[in-house]
Amino acid sequence: MSFTIEATDGTARAGVLHTAHGDVPTPAFMPVGTKATVKSLDPDELRTLGTRILLGNTYHLHFRPGEDVIAELGGLHAFMGWDGPILTDSGGFQVFSLRDTLLASDDDGVTFRSVYDGSAERFTPELAARIQTDLGSDVAMCLDICLPPGVPREDLERAVQRTTLWAQRQRDLPRAPGQLRFAITQGGLDRELRARSAEGLVALDFDGYAIGGLSVGEERAPMFAATTAAAAELPAAKPRYFMGIGDPEGVIEVISRGVDMFDCVLPTRTARTGSALTWEGRLNMRNARFARDPRPLDDGCACPACTRFTRAYIRHLVNQDEILGLRLLSLHNLRFLLDLVVAAREAIERGAFASWSADALARLALPTERELTP
C-alpha cells in the first residue's frame, strides 16, 4: 500500500504517503519547484523548514533543460540536490491555462506553441508519462484537460471524456523505479460530471487521485462545495490531492473535506511581491507602518526571518529591492503553511479538528492589511 490512514476526525484525515524517497505525513503542503528549484531557496533550507515533498513541472523541465539531460545527470533528485520525495505534474495545466498558445486538442493529444520559442509542440499521454519516467519523480501525474471556469457544459463533458481516455492509456506505461501514478478528476463545478469523472478513473485503480480544474478563478463557495462532492467520490484508501491551492484559509477548508495533499506557488510568489502570511492576515511589508516595528513577522514563528530579524529590517530590505528580503519572506511564508498543516494533523489526531479549524479560520479572518491601512 502506498498510503495509510492513521487518524480521522469527521472527513479530515491524517495519513502517510509512502514513496521511494521516504514517507510523507499528510495533510501535506508541497512547495512548488517549477524549474527544479523553489525560487531563491536551497534544498537544505527547505528541509529545515519542514518540507517533506516538492513539486516539479513537467512542461518547463521538458523544454529547459530537457528530460534527457536530467536523466543523464542522475534524475531530478540528483539534478536539483533534493533527496526527498518529488511529485511532477503532467504539463496539462500549463498547456491548457496558457490558452493563447493552444493550437488544437483531440483524442490523441494536444498541440500548442512553446512559451520559450513559439514552436509548435505536441503533448500526448504517452509523452507526459515518458518525461516523468525519465525525470524519476516519486509521483507522476496523468495528462489531463484543465478548463477555465464558465465554459459550456459540453466542453467540460469532452474534457472529462478525454481525461479518462488519456488516463486509460497511461495506466500501465513504464514507470521509474517505485514511481506512483495519480489520475486527475475533472468536471468543473458540475457535480454529475465530477461523479462521472471519478467513476471512470477509480475503475482504473490508480495509486492516488487528484481533484483538478478547481481554484482556477471560480468563486470560493461553489469551489469548496465542488471539492466536498469530488472528494466523496474518491476511494477512502487512496491519497487525495487538490491541485493548486495554497492560501491558509483554502488549505484548512480542503483538509476539512478529506483532502490529503495540495500545492501552490502562492507562498513564494506572495513573498516576491513583498508580502508575509501571518495570523494577522497578509502583511504588505512595503507599508510605512512597519518602518520602526521591532516585532517579528509573526509571533511564535521559528523561521529564520522571525527568529533573527524585525519587521522594520525586512521592510527596509524589501523597499531597497534587496534579494535577502524576498528570500526571508519566502522562508517565512513556506514555514507558515508547513506549520499550519502540521497543526492540522495534530488536531485530527487528537479529535479536535473542528474546534481547531474554526479557531484558525476566525484568526485568519481578522481585518486585512488593506482594512488596517488608512
The CA distance from 310 to 120, in Å, is 49
Which residue type, as a one-letter code, is found at position 329?
A: L
User: Residue 298 catalytic?
Assistant: no
Q: What value does the CA radius of gyration of the chain take, rounded to a whole number of Å? A: 20
Strands 28-33 and 275-278: unpaired
Phi, psi of 282 (to 5 degrees): -85, 125
The H-or-E segment that residue 167 falls in is: helix 153-170
- 123 neighbors 95 (Cβ within 8 angstroms): yes
CB 158 within 8 A of CB 151: no
Q: Whole-angstrom Cα distance, residue 126 to residue 226? A: 30
If you ran DSSP here, which 8-state letter would residue 91 be given?
Answer: S
Contact 19, 3 (CB under 8 A): no
Tell me the CA end-to-end span of the chain in Å, nearest whole number.
55
Query: In terms of DSSP H, where are the helices of 203-274?
Result: 220-232, 248-256, 266-272
Catalytic position from the list 207, 263, 298, 339: 263
Find cell 480521522 and name the residue.
8
Q: How many CB atoms lie within 10 A of CB 107?
A: 10
Which residues, in sequence order, are CB contacts of 280 under 8 Å at separation 6+? 298, 366
The question of whether 263 is a catalytic residue gets the answer yes
Candidate list 89, 207, 260, 339, residue with the active-site label:
89
Annotated active-site positions, please?
A: 89, 263
